[in-house]
Structure 1
């Protein structure tokens, strides 16, 4: 009697079908984009704060970071005055668009500033001279948070 090696066609079809079902169920758990939205917006916020600080140093005047938490999606504006409405004549210009500097957060992401009137002076120090932080949270999954901190005396952003 001759021995054959290998698998039957039925065995192969069953294994491929089961593998497909496992992949279809497991993939959404690994490919969840919420953490990427939250991390990305925290990075953009950190960059926006650094841009505000560098603009204050370059212009030798105060630049304020204004967070509009009532808007959906939330926005972060840079302005030369601490007015929440930020008149167009006082807005910091975005070099990419030549318009007012406005960062719009992702739809599911919110930011909670400890000081909504945070600014930077011409030396790059935080105004008022107190530590501040911005907590970036994903509204779908509140466990996904990132914190951007600003140190008091130096204005160092981390």
Structure 2
């Protein structure tokens, strides 16, 4: 008798089923979305700061970046006055919603600003003139931290 070399259909199906089970169990450990939330929110904070700076330059007046950790936790508002409540009449308009500009972070992400009401003047410089930073941390995994820095004098955001 002459035997052909190869695998039977049953053997192939069992191997594919076992591989599927292993992938289903291992994927959540490797594809954790926490790092993406943290990095994404750091990028949103950086974009919000740049929008505040560009609005201050375009309007030729001060724009304040107000970090709210009490009334609306984990949110950043843009306002023309440094009032933490930011009256609607003084709020910077969000071009997407035509309402007050409010950026809310992801559920597990927290920010720790060095200045809760940082501002930019009509030249784009930080008000008060000094370096500032926003530390973005994921509550699930404190090792995932990103820092957004604002340089003194120039207001450069990096």
| Alignment TM class, shorter chain as reference | over 0.9
State how 1:2-151 maps to structure 2 within 5 Å: 2-71=2-71, 73-151=73-151
Q: Could you say what the CA RMSD is over the residues aligned between the two structures, in angstroms?
A: 1.3
Provide, for residues 90-137 of structure 1, a one-character-per-residue CA deviation record: whole Å limited to 9, x for no partner: 111111111100001111111110111210011000011110000111
Contact kept, 8 Å, 1:79 with 1:91, in 2: the verdict is yes
Which runs of 5 or more residues in structure 1 are unaligned? Answer: none
Contact kept, 8 Å, 1:120 with 1:127, in 2: the verdict is yes
Give distance in 1, aligned partners of 2:63 and 2:28.
42
Aligned positions, number: 158
Deviation at 1:72, TM superposition (A): 5.7
Give distance in 2, aligned partners of 1:26 and 1:147.
31
TM-score, normalisation: structure 2:
0.95
- After TM superposition, the structure 1 stretch with the greater mean CA deviation from structure 2, 103-112 or 26-35, is 26-35
Give distance in 2, aligned partners of 1:61 and 1:83.
15
Give distance in 2, aligned partners of 1:50 and 1:151.
13
Runs (4+) of structure 1 exceeding 4 A deviation are none
Deviation at 1:4, TM superposition (A): 1.1
Provide, for residues 51-74 of structure 1, a one-character-per-residue CA deviation record: whole Å limited to 9, x for no partner: 000011111111100001225651
